[in-house]
Structure 1
Amino acid sequence: MNEALTDAVHTGLPGVADWQLVRAAGGHTLLVAGPPAAPGASPGPGPEDTRAARRAAHEGDAAVRDTDPATLPALLRQLDETALLTMARVLDRTRLFRAGGRATDADVLGALAVAPRHAWIVRRWLRTLTAEGRLHQDPATGRHHGLLVPDRRDHARALRELDTACRGLGYPASMTRFFRAAAERLPLLLQDRTSLQEVLFPDGETGTAQGNYRDSVPSRWANHAAAALIADEAGRRTGPAPVRVLEAGAGVGGTTGTVLEALGDTPVDYLFTDVSPFFLRAGRDLFGGRPGVRHALFDLQTDPLAQGFAAGSHDVVLAANVLHNARHAGRCLAALRELLAPDGLLVLVESCQEHYQALTSMYLLMSPAPDEPDWFTDERAGQDRVFLGAGEWTRQLDAAGFDPVPVLPPEGHPLAAAGQRVIAGRVRTHARRPDPGRVRAALAARLPPATALPRIHAVDAVIRTLTPTGASR
């Protein structure tokens, strides 16, 4: 079927100048774009969005006014330092690097008995320690050697001092306990002999996760800035109808509460969604009493229309700390754009910079499922990474058909280096995209009867994906 579909697309489709077939086990997606726009055709953010971004940044600053931003880089580095020591201690237990030993990636993965889905994390450990000068790699053989192993007392001291760093960053005490517990169980976690969910959600409690996504200084700033953008959007819409907000992947509601508080008495139809019934139950417990709040299951990886969501049915889509999980960012953004009304607003909160602490904790939640044949199929393919940078997100928004709003906090802001950014875009209404209906009809006419057709999303541009060898996909 794949060859027949590819052949059918290659013969040319109505209005299609460029295309990309995104393959997935649950069904393929065809992204189609028209002729490229003339240089300068996209005007970028309008003056209203630029002013709204400035107001949102002010709200973010107000939310962390009790914090000295000058102290944050050192506190973040303290977390990173603890993680580096933890990685080195776990690698030393393999005994591969003692007495001048040299080991390949495969040697390390085998010695640690790492579950295949977590192998990418250990490969990042090796690259990170090398970049930090705590491990060496022979460029000719690829073998690693010269591991700098921390003294046991230094590692224990760093774990004890985690509490100071976490407090300074606004984390609750439970977050310190989480980081320590994850470090202690790392070998078992990497082997899938225990799960990080058990550590993060002990007895089904969500307080630790809320501390990460709601209470930390970077999250507090980003949540208040995102909430201000949404409240501003509600204010610019006239008429008695409630503002229609879809929160995709709401999780523990770390951003939801701040948004609802910013909306105040504004009439709202707020759809709190997640792929997990566990989080929906938690959302109902937290926000079930708020007028206008509804709850529904929603899987970002599959077609929203096939899940019962209507095209053009929302004024705002919010996705906080979830869209990095999309296996193909361009496909997911195109699908979310179709859920938005003309001139609708998409607001993302995303980590745009890797912190080493995540490599010994939260990253274990981001590995592919054991039965998932592919992982990321966009520009992250083959790179052992989860997060896109702010510039990459802006490029993805533009290609999917959004006019990007200025990224917050802006470059040079004391919190920009923390990596938690608010990335928003307004649905672009002036683009000339192919008609998905015509494209689908043309494909159906060329393929054998009863052939399963792919999802079709019209986009403004296709971002080419490079394989590890550099070839375009």
Structure 2
Amino acid sequence: MSGPPVDALADLPGVGAWQWVPGPQRPTLLVAPTPPGTDGRTKAGAEQAVVDEVTAASAAGDAAVADADLSSLPQLSRLMDEVALLAMARVLHRARLFRDGARHDTGQVLDLLRVAPRHAWIVRRWLSTLVTEERLRYDRSSGHYHELVVPDRVGYARARRELDEARRGLGYPPSMTRFFVATAERLPALLRDEAGVQELLFPDGSTDTAEGNYRDNLPSRWVNHAAAALVGGRTHGSAGPLRILEVGAGIGATTRPVLDALAGTELDYLFTDVSRFFLTSARTLLGDRPGLRFGLFDINVLPVGPENTPGSRDVILAANVLHNARHIGRALAALRELLAPDGLLVLVESCREHYQALTSMYLLMSPSAEEQRWFTDVRSGQDRVFLSPAEWVDQLDAAGFDPLPVLPGNNHPLADAGQRVIVGRVRPGVGRPDPVLVEAALTARLPPSARPERIHAVDRVMSAPNTVSMGVPR
């Protein structure tokens, strides 16, 4: 369905505003009260408990990297960025773009490189990044790029040697250097979808390189242990096991410190991912832990089934996955419904764009060739994947969470690395619309084919581009 039946959404019970979110099959409807609910926000009496939680988590992160010199991280990150910038310029130059004073607009660049449509956003990011770094000029009046700074062959070789120095300093294993070099050499084929990053990231089915990216380096080590401390300090009111759902668990980079932090705690831990590949690997690495189970979960598909009933989880953990949600607000609303009152959502997210990712990992984040839409939230049409810390806090607040301070704090040496822990506690006591009553009203007004697949109540709807229809009832 391309848009909502606006008349049918007028005067819905308890609804002050709505948002009609496109989905892979049928839309989802987000409904919010009027005025936006605020009465459940964290009270002053709970502030000390929050400070204690955050302090303990930050201390756990610091302990995990206590043997490292963090003062050199900005310089090392810049070395990695420099290799990526040279790789971008090298691809453009080898395609004979911008030679002899030639000028090209974005469409011409994409055509000459024969970029697969789903990867076009990456090349657009290359062009804007090279302009920002003064490696390429852009004429706003004509829309043409020109005067590429051609990478020097000797300089590129030197930068590749320095890449290994940066890799060691940041705590990546040697396989990461091989991965970055391999993707840089194959960029033209990768952009044309004649080769895949997966084969380079998981050579012969090995997860060593992925572990270097998500577990072993210093920023990942810090956030994984800080997240583990937050989950490990979690208490719940029921007499049964602590019920945890991990979404997009992948190679288990965050799972392992979380399980260590919960040693001796009775668990019902559901480890999930969208891919059976990771479930098979995880069963080998983690399968003997009591209370640990495995299953499939796709953040872009509405959760159903006995494992995903409302209020069935005390903690939801999602490390480096929620940015893949096509609509963050819809995904957060769905996860909040799975949480018990006072439940905790713990996210690990990258909040900064790294140039190195633009020549490697970002190729994994492009939409599938079959997708008619990509992001339908605040990122729509912006050629970006990641949200800022402030945007994440705003999204949590709108979905019905009380956000905790983002970790590491802005003054921490690892803050500029971009990996952050973002946490929200389910906000109780807000007079949200009742989805059951809203659904009953729509059933009386619309045929089955025109109804939303799911209705989620939120505290407020977020402004969004035209890909998402919004409204306030008359």
Task: Report TM bin, short chain.
Answer: over 0.9
Give the direction of change, closer, same or farther, for the CA distance of 1:148–1:309 in structure 2 (3 Å limit): same
Question: 2:270 and 2:116 mapped to 1: Cα distance?
Answer: 36
1:60-105 CA distance string (max 9 Å, x none) = 0010001111110001111001100100000111212011111100
Cα 1:440–1:185 change in 2 (3 A) is same
For 1:189, the equivalent position in structure 2 comes to: 190
Q: What per-residue deviation string (whole Å, max 9, x for no partner) do you get for residues 241-298 of structure 1?
A: 2111100000111111111011111111110000101111111111101111100001
- 1:344-369 Cα deviation digits (max 9, x unpaired): 00000000000100000000000000
For residue 334 of structure 1, what is the aligned residue in structure 2? 333
Residue type matched to 2:312 in 1?
S
| Aligned twin of 1:75 | 76
Deviations 1:228-250 (CA, angstroms, capped at 9, x unpaired): 000011xx335642111100000
State which drifts further: 184-193 or 18-27.
Answer: 18-27
Go from structure 1 to structure 2 and tell me whether the alpha carbon gap of 1:351 and 1:380 turns closer, same or farther (over 3 Å shift): same
Per the alignment, do residues 472 and 52 of structure 1 end up closer, same or farther by CA in structure 2, a change over 3 Å counting? Answer: same
Q: Secondary structure at the match of 1:86?
A: helix
Distance change >3 Å, CA 238–CA 399, structure 1 → 2: closer
Q: Partner of 1:363 in structure 2?
A: 362
Q: How far did 1:57 drift? A: 0.2
Aligned residue in 1 for 2:382: 383
Q: Secondary structure at the match of 1:161?
A: helix
Residues 436 and 456 in structure 1, CA contact (< 8 A), matched pair in contact too: yes
Hey, what does 1:263 align to over in structure 2? 262
Q: Which residue of 2 aligns with 1:105?
A: 106
The equivalent of 2:311 in structure 1 is: 312
Q: How does 1:123-272 map to 2 (within 5 A)?
A: 123-233=124-234, 236-237=235-236, 240-272=239-271
In the alignment, residue 421 of structure 1 is paired with which amino acid?
R
Structure 2 letter corresponding to 1:145: H
Q: Percent identity?
A: 60
Query: 1:433 deviation in Å?
Result: 0.4
The residue aligned with 2:123 is 122
Post-superposition shift, 1:386? 0.2
| 1:349 aligns to 2:387 (yes or no) | no
Q: Deviations over 1:285-314 (max 9, x none)?
A: 111011111000011101112585111111
* Alignment-mate amino acid for residue 145 of structure 2: H
User: 1:430: how far off?
Assistant: 1.7
1:56 counterpart residue number: 57
The 2-side partners of 1:333 and 1:240 are apart by 27
Q: Does the C-alpha gap of structure 1 residues 449 and 208 become closer, same or farther in structure 2, counting only changes over 3 Å?
A: closer
- The answer as to 2:269 corresponding to 1:276 is no
Is the 2:83–2:356 contact (alpha carbons within 8 Å) kept by the matching residues of 1? Answer: yes
Contact 1:316 1:347 in 2 (8 A): yes
Q: Distance in 2 between matches of 1:179 and 1:464?
A: 37
Partner deviation per Cα, 1:323-363 (whole Å, 9 max, x = no partner): 00000000000000001001000000000000100000000
Alignment deviations for residues 138-195 of structure 1 (CA, whole Å, 9 cap, x no partner): 0101100111111011112211221110111010010111001000110000000010
Query: Displacement of 1:450 after TM fit?
Result: 5.8
Q: What SS does the aligned partner of 1:229 have?
A: helix
Q: Partner letter of residue 401 of structure 1? A: G
Cα deviation for residue 26 of structure 1 reads: 2.0
SS of alignment partner, residue 270 of structure 1: strand
Does the 8 A contact of 1:343 with 1:426 survive in 2?
Answer: yes
Helix, strand or coil: the match of 1:278? Answer: helix
Q: Confirm or deny that 1:8 pairs with 2:8.
A: yes
- Measure, in 1, the Cα distance between the counterparts of 2:418 and 2:48: 26
CA distance in 2, matches of 1:42, 1:328: 24
Question: Cα distance 1:215–1:144, how it changes in 2: closer, same or farther (>3 A)?
Answer: same
SS at match of 1:46: helix
> CA separation in 1, counterparts of 2:312 and 2:40?
27
Quick one: structure 1 residues 83 and 378, their matched pair in 2 at CA, closer, same or farther if it must change by over 3 Å? same
Structure 2 CA distance for aligned equivalents of residues 370 and 305 of structure 1: 26
Report the CA distance between 1:467 and its aligned residue. 4.6
Deviation per residue, 1:395-454 (Å, 9 max, x gap):
000000000011000111111110000000000002110000000000010013564433
Contact 1:56 1:228 in 2 (8 A): yes
State the secondary structure of the residue aligned to 1:442: helix
Q: Distance in 2 between matches of 1:363 and 1:156?
A: 23
3-state DSSP of counterpart to 2:431? coil
How far apart are the structure 1 equivalents of 2:360 and 2:163?
14
For 1:379, what is the secondary structure of its paired residue?
Answer: coil
In the TM superposition, what whole-angstrom CA distance separates every residue of 1:82-140 from its partner, at most 9, and x where no partner exists? 10010000011121201111110011101110000000000000000001111110010
Q: RMSD of the TM alignment (CA)? A: 1.8
User: Which 5+ residue runs of structure 2 have no aligned equivalent?
Assistant: none
What amino acid does structure 2 have at the position aligned with 1:118?
H
- The 3-state SS of whatever aligns with 1:386 is coil
Distance 1:337 1:250 in 2: 18
Per mean C-alpha deviation after superposition, the further-off stretch among 361-370 and 238-247 is 238-247
User: Aligned AA for 1:158?
Assistant: A
Secondary structure at 2:129 match in 1: helix
Contact persistence 1:382–1:467 (CA under 8 A): no
Kindly provide the amino acid, as one letter, of the partner of residue 96 in structure 2: R
Q: Say if 2:171 and 2:218, in contact at 8 Å, map to a contact too.
A: yes
Q: Look up the equivalent residue of 1:271 and give its one-letter code.
A: L
- Hey, what's the Cα distance between the residues in 2 that align with 1:463 and 1:273? 28
The 8 Å contact of residues 37 and 430 in structure 2, kept in 1 or not, is answered as no
Tell me the equivalent position of 1:19.
18
2:75 aligned with 1:43, yes or no?
A: no
TM-score when scaled to structure 1? 0.96
CA contact (8 A) 1:444 1:453 kept: no
Q: Distance in 2 between matches of 1:39 and 1:454?
A: 27
> Highest relative contact order (Cα 8 Å, sep 6+), 1 or 2?
2
SS at 1:305's partner residue?
A: coil
Report the 3-state secondary structure (helix = DSSP H, G, I; strand = E; otherwise coil) of the residue aligned with 2:180.
Answer: helix
The equivalent of 1:438 in structure 2 is 437
Distance 1:353 1:4 in 2: 34
Residues 134, 428 of structure 1: CA spacing in aligned structure 2 closer, same or farther, 3 A cutoff? same
